[in-house]
Amino acid sequence: MRTQVAIIGAGPSGLLLGQLLHKAGIDAVILERQTGDYVLGRIRAGVLEQVTIDLLDEAGVGQRMHQEGLVHGGFDMLFKGERHRIDMNKLTGGKNVMVYGQTEVTRDLMDARATAGLTTIYEAANVAVHDFDSAKPRVTYEKDGKQHEITCDFIAGCDGFHGVCRASAPRSAIKEFEKVYPFGWLGVLSDTPPVHEELIYVNSPRGFALCSQRSETRSRYYLQVPLTDKVEQWSDQAFWDELKLRLDPEARAKLVTGPSIEKSIAPLRSFVTEPLRFGRMFLAGDAGHIVPPTGAKGLNLAATDVKYLSNAIIEFYQDKSESGIDSYSERCLKRIWRAERFSWWFTSLMHNFPENGAIGQKLQEAELDYIIHSEAGARSVAENYVGLPLDFGH
Ligand code: FAS
Ligand code: PHB
């Protein structure tokens, strides 16, 4: 098979890239090792920055998002038993975020790709990338017991943290930066009304908690748990009881509990690969970087990587220019490191670090107290949370 761009991975990165390239008349085939239902079943991100909303509109898949997504102009920070609202809309001159689950973004992109009759090969096994240091890269894979080959001009590694593309980059050409946090997030999805109309980020001596949502009838909650915890240890009742212990009296009274429809523990890490380009192979999204989900940046960073990459590939074909692909990595990394810094800082501020002792909690509470009483402090949180503009220059 021959295509212009071979995309590895049918998560949000791969699907959005395929859609933006298709809109520009560029042919791409997506290879995905799982089934479409499996990809949709992974419950992950929930908050979209304006830049991501605009990109989904540009890709022609924003209609349901605008119908069903929830526009949020702020969120609460709860510490020392009291809640304080960060008014993002006021502090950023009118910017908001949209609460719309990654599952729904993925579904919208999948539907658009199927409607356009574009090729996504699911359950593609043993995908391997070849000759990406030449102008004739290739991808091989197995499907239905047969070996297949795709020749292409570019390979887009949209295959996530555990994918094959980054792993195939020459070790001498790659630098990886990693910080693993000593805890995980136990997440529960439930068909219960959200405890509050906006998100609540909780700093509690018992550990971090987050009250999020997917709609007016579906909620998403997280608890910081030790890395040694297994999801089987946590009954639904145990989850709700612990969440209540971390909430303020008003939220505790309003919380509607119910059976979990999804329950999982995600590890937290900060991770960046440099560079993101290896000849004709490019890494985008989780394939190139991971952020702790505290700052709601993972999916949004993936979207902006894909915007830069699609622009670069379109420029290659339409303007016969390689300047976009030559600057891809540097442009992405400037934005990635800003998001990594905010995600690390917000994680360090909101989670319980027993190794820091009682003074650690006191210092966190003092910083939170400063933030909610300082317009400059609150604005710093707000402008990072709503997301930096696509090209913030400096
Ligand atoms: P993805 O990992 O979503 O997709 C990669 C795709 O490539 C997958 O479908 C995989 O099956 C496929 N693939 C992998 N190897 C392959 C191979 N060899 N051949 C073919 N296909 C292959 N972000 C937030 O903002 N908020 C959150 O709360 C949040 N929670 C998360 C929880 C978990 C457990 C994880 C892992 C991530 C979470 N994230 C969160 C981040 C997440 O939303 C990512 O940023 C987002 O999925 C990035 O999308 P992709 O880059 O497409 O990677
Ligand atoms: C979510 O709704 O899944 C979510 C929201 C905000 C975060 C992380 C996850 O920071």
Pocket residue to mutate for ligand 2, from 75, 99, 222, 268, most atoms within 8 A of Cβ: 222
Mean pLDDT by 10 residues, the chain (394 residues): 98 98 98 97 92 96 97 98 97 96 97 97 98 97 97 98 98 97 97 98 98 96 97 98 98 98 96 98 98 97 98 97 97 97 98 95 98 98 93 72
Query: What was the pLDDT predicted at 26?
Result: 98
Number of helices and strands in the chain (H, E): 13, 20
* Set 95, 289, 297, 351: catalytic member: 297
Start-end of H helices in 134-259: 165-168, 236-246, 249-254
Q: Ligand 1 centre from 343 Cα, in Å?
A: 17
Among all chains, which residue has been given the structure tokens 């998001």? 339
* Chain-centre distance for alpha carbon 157: 16
> 249: cis peptide before it, omega within 30°?
no
List the Cα angle 186/189/190 in 5-degree steps: 130
In the chain, where the domains are located: 5-177+268-386
Query: What was the pLDDT predicted at 392?
Result: 73
| Known catalytic membership, residue 317 | no
Within 6 A (CB) of ligand 1 lie 8-14, 31-34, 39, 44-46, 102, 124, 127, 158-160, 162-164, 266, 285-286, 293, 296-299, 302
CATH fold of 5-177+268-386, please? FAD/NAD(P)-binding domain (3.50.50)
CA 155 to CA 7: how far, in whole Å? 6
Query: What was the pLDDT predicted at 102?
Result: 96
Query: What was the pLDDT predicted at 43?
Result: 87
| Beta pairing partners, 143 | 146
| Known catalytic membership, residue 72 | yes
CA 18 to CA 145: how far, in whole Å? 26
List the Cα angle 35/39/43 in 5-degree steps: 150
| Known catalytic membership, residue 222 | no
Query: What was the pLDDT predicted at 167?
Result: 98
